[in-house]
């Protein structure tokens, strides 16, 4: 079938509207106007929030490592070894970075 044959058939789709072309100068003006929309009052409020220091409390942590912390440390070290980082233990035939 030729391309002309397809133009006659209605596939149930509407034609897409043509997007207007934006000139280079008009696009730059929109960017400049978007930056000027910030209100000065918002910046003052943000500064006030930064001045409030969190209350220093002693941290309550366990002296034991959780399984999630252990998995993350072992995974990170395995990635380092796979990227040719020096191995700090003696190898006994291990080749898998996670087993090392």
Position 68 scores a pLDDT of 96
Q: At 62, give phi and psi (nearest 5°).
A: -90, 150
pLDDT tens across 5-57, in order?
666 566 666 777 777 776 666 555 555 555 555 555 555 555 555 667 777 88
pTM of the model: 0.39
| Cα 46 to Cα 38: distance, rounded to the nearest angstrom | 13
Please tell me which of 14-28, 29-43, 62-76, 86-100 the model is most confident about, judged by mean pLDDT: 62-76
Range of the domain at 84: 66-100
- Asked whether residue 4 is assigned to any structural domain, the reply reads no
Average pLDDT over residues 67-83: 93
Task: Give me the number of domains the chain comprises.
Answer: 1
Query: What are the distances in angstroms from CA 35 to CA 25, 29, 31, 38, 42?
Result: 16, 10, 7, 7, 14
- Asked whether residue 76 is assigned to any structural domain, the reply reads yes
Q: Domain holding 89: CATH number?
A: 3.90.940.10
């Amino acid at each position: 079938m030729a391309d002309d044959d397809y133009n006659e058939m209605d596939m149930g789709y509407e034609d897409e509207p043509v997007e207007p072309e934006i000139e280079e100068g008009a696009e730059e003006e929109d960017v400049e106007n978007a930056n000027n929309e910030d209100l000065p009052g918002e910046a003052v409020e943000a500064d006030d929030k930064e001045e409030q220091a969190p209350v220093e409390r002693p941290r309550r942590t366990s002296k034991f490592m959780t399984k999630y912390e252990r998995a993350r440390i072992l995974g990170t070290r395995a990635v380092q070894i796979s990227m040719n980082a020096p191995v700090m233990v003696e190898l006994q035939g291990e080749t898998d970075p996670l087993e090392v």
